[in-house]
Amino acid sequence: MKYISTRGSAPTLNFDDVLVTGLARDGGLYVPMEWPQFSPADLRRFRNLSYAELAVEVMRPFVEGSIDDASLEAIVKGAYQDFGHPAVAPLKQLDRGLWMMELFHGPTLAFKDYAMQVLGRLFDHVLQQRGERITIVGATSGDTGSAAIEACRDRDAIDIFILFPNNRVSPVQQRQMTTVDAANVHAIALDGHFDDCQDMVKGLFNDLAFRDKMQLSAVNSINWARIMPQITYYFAAAIALGAPDRPVAFSVPSGNFGNVFSGYAAAQMGVPISQLLVGANRNDILARFMTSGTMQMRGVEPSLSPSMDIQVSSNFERLLFDLLDRDGGAVARTLTDFRQTGHFSVSQGQLARAQEMFQGHAVDDATTLARIKATAAATGEIIDPHTAIGIETAVALAANITDPLVSLACAHPAKFPDAVHQASGHYPALPARLADLMERPERLTVLANDSDVVKAFIEEHVTTGGTV
């Protein structure tokens, strides 16, 4: 499989190079040169596979030429063997035509684990083959960081630096990053909001001299290898509900657009997905785009769903690439203008193409709390604020959807106990393995939103660059 940059001027790479490179050298994101195709017969053949077996089938075409079958099978088996549910990503029916897919049974209780546990093992495999080491730098609005740290802790060939917005993640999210006692892990609380963290990471990667010196790589969803494993649970849900013989729709709470783009990828590969509903909180830039065709930046506002407090959704660039007929130059010009002016618009024809699959819906904090309360009363299920936005979006837009509708439950409610208690009167307990999390000592560094400061910190704490 070959990969190309969304901005058109970076080298075409194989999967292993995309994995290690992360962000393309022209500032774009890597995407497959062409989408693998699965036939209806393939989907029927997958019906009796375990989740891990299905993941191997879905990912095999993407790693062709870089990872052999036996290695891929070992990587995937290891990634999911300790998840807290035998189905890995179980479906629960909430109402007639509405299901919830639980994506919080991994080690850090969030959907990011489904990709990150694979990613850490992919890095191990490729770096051992190459005799290299890397420095991972990532930004997180909450869950990516803990999942990345858990996947990369104590790995010999990796130093990992995770930036999160100071005082803008939940206490549980923060402690999942800052209580990890591993010499190769560095949690950085950056003064600012998530977009500042994301901009910082992109700036470090775009400083090519620093990037090469530190052997930078990415675990954010700017890295294609983060998107790829997430495609599997769209296959799994659709097949469980009747695909290929029946279309399925999904509702996805979205901030950075990576999770919902994985659903788009599944659709391009042959999964009969009729609709992708994009749930947003008060930071509703994606929902507004799906209605108007205009991406208009506003200030980031804190909410009860902090992982979605984002205005610049990096992965939207991958969809924009397709909307602009895979014209990398047009993507680069559009996003340069966006950074300069704070807005851009697509044509009516391009918007119509997006609306064939996507709808957006914004949910405020009061409605989020009401949905948590209503879901608990109706079903007994306790859900977190992000999951509530997905379910509320599904309910709000369900009138025009006749297919089974799956809402993704992206985080365990115990990660956001205050919001859940405010809505339901119930404090959800952490799983036993994390019961003492809030008592563990923290290891973190607060840094100014200054690239020179961050660079100096990385240079001081990185183990080495180059070869192992």
Q: Select which of 92, 112, 373, 415 is catalytic.
A: 112
At residue 342, what is the residue type? G
- At residue 342, φ and ψ (nearest 5 deg) are 85, 10
Assess whether 455 carries a catalytic annotation.
no
Q: What is the 3-class SS of the chain, one letter each residue?
A: CEEEECCCCCCCEEHHHHHHHCCCCCCCCEEECCCCCCCHHHHHHHHHCCHHHHHHHHHHHHHCCCCCHHHHHHHHHHHHCCCCCCCCCCEEEEECCEEEEECCCCCCCECHHHHHHHHHHHHHHHHHHHCECEEEEEECCCHHHHHHHHHHCCCCCEEEEEEEECCCCCHHHHHHHHCCCCCCEEEEEECCCHHHHHHHHHHHHHCHHHHHHHCEECCCCCCHHHHHHHHHHHHHHHHHCCCCCCCEEEEEECCCCHHHHHHHHHHHCCCCEEEEEEEECCCCHHHHHHHHCEEECCCCCCCCCHHHCCCCCCCHHHHHHHHCCCCHHHHHHHHHHHHHHCEEECCHHHHHHHHCCEEEEECCHHHHHHHHHHHHHHHCCCCCHHHHHHHHHHHHHHHHCCCCEEEEECECHHHCHHHHHHHHCCCCCCCHHHCCHHHCCCCCEEECCCHHHHHHHHHHHCCCCCEC
Tokens, residue 271: 């999964």
Nearest to 309 by CA among 261, 356, 368: 368
Distance CA 214, CA 353 (A): 41
Q: Which of 297, 304, 247 is nearest to 270 (CA)?
A: 247
Active site amino acids: 112
